[in-house]
A and B are shown apart, each in its own frame.
Chain A
């Protein structure tokens, strides 16, 4: 079965890898999209409902703000504490409800998104907290609405930092996407499991590692590139320094 002199072995390998990579990219990209769409507002709300935040008193009630903040904080902490494999099993009924089945790449998107959303929301929270409160104040003095402040001030100013957070998030989604392979989710994890583990094919394992490495590294490079591009924190000489600092930070977060 692992006869490398058989030409069929190599063409099979390529086919399997292409399918696996395709499934992985599919799961990761959709999960990432969902993560951004849900995680970004969640992060904004996490910061906004804090004392003195933009949404500290929704509907004019500070109590409402405090409750929302506590609930969100709890949900995010919960999401981040549960080991992925357990989360994946625990949300099966929900996955079924959303997708109709709990098997396959599409179904895997649900737990992947659920694990990444709280993670990314925290990243967004950290990035937004780094924005100088003076900028919010300036926008307020101009008569900006809350929504304008979020859209025109907070998000653009936090963008470089959020992009690095996104790079870390996508790395962890890829990481978890390999795990769903073990429960019939497909993808490169599935390739590694079925061929590498069940059929002892080292070549498959090595190939999967190389592909994942390339995906992770190129995504990180893209994110860092744009983070640098949008980071205009000091004069030109300083901009390079700021970008280096961002890179170090990203590396530290990734660990």
Chain B
């Protein structure tokens, strides 16, 4: 649905020139929620703004819904943008317009007549749960309400793609959750493809199907979450299941086991203790629902001899579990 291909973008000239995006390629499938995570300054904001060409890339191409955005003339680009909604961190609502009129702006731009504007804006306000506030001004709304209006505006022209530029970063955790839920609902009910950028791993965990990690303007890793989880050494997976560092003074072998899909509800650890007679100790554990699947990671201390440990680990691996050795000699 969205295809970013070898896109580079730099700002400034001469020695002050910074490369914000360095040969970035991404593919977002139809109907997917795709999250790009990264620290501030990693280039994620620039990346999302190249998709609707608010930022024109220096090189590379962008394709959205079969249209090569980077080849479009000014007029065609405006029409293409009407099919791509965008939500902003600071909402960017017009203070001079009521909630209803803010949503209608998207339809005025497209050229929808007054009566239809009214009904369509009303329907969308219903969808975001704010029809009671139609006559209010943005100044009278809370942050979460403003973002709902921002979302309503972005959806008014019935786009097929929604871009979300840190939509929840200015909101408290409670409101963040409700906005994410709304995005998920929209994705499901309207079949909208969503590309979002965020610095919060929680956002990815809660709603994304796929994710990419961006660092210093480059994509360090990308893929479907269910696959990333079972990819050895995946940094995104580690970010999703933060187990922290191994405490100093830990002896023996320490391993991380990642459970996903069917293995999540099997009594793996009890079996391990029974079959290999190891006094397994649990050093840390986390279970999350990721992309609709139960997944978890457990950190175990194996106090046995290298041979027993190795046999135990081999056994775990034959069960299809992802085992990563954190410390210790058993390979």
Give the complex CA separation of A172 and B106 in angstroms. 40
**Given A141-B54, A143-B109, CB of A156 within 8 Å of CB of B140:** no
Pick the contact of A143: B88, B94, B110, B140 (CB < 8 A): B110
Give A142-159 interface residues, CB cut-off 8 Å to B.
142-145, 148, 152-153, 156-157, 159
> Are B157 and A142 in contact, CB atoms less than 8 angstroms apart?
yes
Interface mask (A210-244 → B, CB under 8 Å = 1, otherwise 0): 00000000000000000000101111101100000
How many chain B residues touch A (CB < 8 A): the figure is: 32
Pick the contact of B88: A134, A144, A235 (CB < 8 A): A134
> Are A141 and B86 in contact, CB atoms less than 8 angstroms apart?
yes
Determine the residue in chain A with the shortest Cβ distance to B83.
A143
> Are A141 and B94 in contact, CB atoms less than 8 angstroms apart?
no
Residues in B neighbouring A138, C-beta threshold 8 A? 86, 88, 92-93, 153
Question: How many inter-chain contacts with C-beta < 8 Å in the A-B complex?
Answer: 75
Distance in Å: Cβ of A236 to nearest Cβ of chain B:
7
Is B96 at the interface (CB under 8 A from chain A)?
yes
**Given A135-B92, A156-B96, CB of A142 within 8 Å of CB of B139:** no
> Are A156 and B97 in contact, CB atoms less than 8 angstroms apart?
yes
Give the complex CA separation of A134 and B88 in angstroms. 9
Give the complex CA separation of A233 and B138 in angstroms. 9
Determine the residue in chain A with the shortest Cβ distance to B163.
A141
Give the complex CA separation of A145 and B138 in angstroms. 24
Distance in Å: Cβ of B62 to nearest Cβ of chain A:
14
> Are B84 and A141 in contact, CB atoms less than 8 angstroms apart?
yes
Determine the residue in chain A with the shortest Cβ distance to B53.
A140
> Are B137 and A140 in contact, CB atoms less than 8 angstroms apart?
no
> Are B109 and A159 in contact, CB atoms less than 8 angstroms apart?
no
**Given A143-B82, A234-B139, CB of A157 within 8 Å of CB of B94:** yes
Is B210 at the interface (CB under 8 A from chain A)?
no
Give the complex CA separation of A138 and B81 in angstroms. 11
Chosen A-B contacts, 23 in total, with CB atoms closer than 8 Å, are: A134-B88, A135-B94, A137-B88, A137-B92, A138-B88, A138-B92, A140-B81, A141-B52, A141-B85, A141-B154, A142-B86, A143-B77, A144-B78, A144-B109, A152-B108, A153-B94, A156-B97, A157-B95, A232-B95, A232-B96, A232-B138, A236-B139, A236-B140
